[in-house]
Amino acid sequence: MRKNRVGLIGFPTEHSLSPVMHNAAFEALGMSDWLYDAMSIPPDILRYGVQEPKNHGYIGINVTVPHKEAMMELVRPDEIARAIGAVNTVDFRNNSGTNTDADGIVDDLRANGVPIANKRVLVLGAGGAARAVVYGLARERARVAIVNRTKIRAERLVADLKSAAGIDGIAVMTLDEAADWGMSLIINCTSVGLHPHVDQSPWIHGVPFPAGVTVYDTVYRPANTALMQQCIAHGGRAIGGLGMLARQGALSFEIWTGVAPPVDVMLGAAQAALENTGKV
């Protein structure tokens, strides 16, 4: 019987790479009394559903779409979760919630040698992923601008970060304005280009693509998105989002276990699982 259980709640969770990633880490470290599994909980019963792993002695859980925002009301969110407005990691031992997505992207940019301090960074999107990314970038003193299809949602993101975390100076732009802004990094936080719509790009047709920038696409299905291909065609560098996934998971792993996570093992396991699904 495994003593230490952790897991994921979401709806659905069937395609999640997190169980494979965390269980590979436990195996690599000889932590055979640990197990990570996934539970699908419909939104209308989240309040009761989340008690299940807690009552069964789980140490903690990851939280994914669509429960990250609702989880704010069900645990004690820390400063990071409050700034982002979403919880992705719960520790049942003290009923606290945090969000490792912001550190996940920052750690992965660092691992890839992409500088962000004092750099101009354009974020595409204003949903949950964008909130975490914008917060992480602003905290690292990047100069951030946001482009989103629904402008008011980007303006709300900027206002929320100001009131929740005192973060100032984030611009909201149109894509045309952004094309001339002179950023060194573009981070796609929209779902455009996600499998099966692999031919779509959030950089809309007709707007000149800036030459020589780095694109980081938080989409990792497929591994080489249309946006990444556009970037490379214009002499830039492109990085897929699997590293962010592995690193946010690694940070959760460390919170629950207190053990330094084997990030490369987690990334390798996620990559192998993706290749097996044939969607890379």
Q: Which residues of this protein are in contact with ligand ATR, per CB under 6 A?
A: 65, 125-130, 148-150, 153, 189-192, 202
Q: Hey, what's the torsion of the CAs at 218, 224, 225, 231, to 10 degrees?
A: 90
Alpha helices in 147-201 (DSSP H): 151-165, 175-179
Q: How far apart are the first and last CA of the chain?
A: 35
Q: Least distance (Å) from ligand ATR to the CB of residue 46? A: 16
State the residue number with the nearest CB to ligand ATR.
Answer: 127
Q: Least distance (Å) from ligand ATR to the CB of residue 154? A: 8
Identify whether 162 is a catalytic site residue: no
Q: Least distance (Å) from ligand ATR to the CB of residue 125? A: 4
In this structure, the number of other CB atoms found within 10 A of the CB of residue 213 comes to 20
Of residues 52, 49, 51, 60, the one with CA closest to residue 11: 49
Of residues 35 and 157, the one with the C-beta less far from ligand ATR: 157
The helix (run of H) or strand (run of E) holding residue 36 is strand 34-40
- Quote the CA–CA distance of 125 and 194 in Å, as a whole number: 14
Length of the chain: 280
Of residues 75 and 133, the one with the C-beta less far from ligand ATR: 133
Of residues 111 and 194, the one with the C-beta less far from ligand ATR: 194
Q: Least distance (Å) from ligand ATR to the CB of residue 26? A: 27
- CA triplet 238, 242, 244: central angle to 5 degrees? 95
Of residues 206 and 258, the one with the C-beta less far from ligand ATR: 206
DSSP letter, residue 42: -
Of residues 149 and 237, the one with the C-beta less far from ligand ATR: 149
Active-site pick, 3, 54, 68, 279: 68
Residue 60 CA from chain centroid, whole number: 18
Query: What are the distances in angstroms from CA 17 to CA 40, 112, 187, 267?
Result: 14, 21, 21, 10
Q: Least distance (Å) from ligand ATR to the CB of residue 152? A: 9
Catalytic annotation, residues:
68
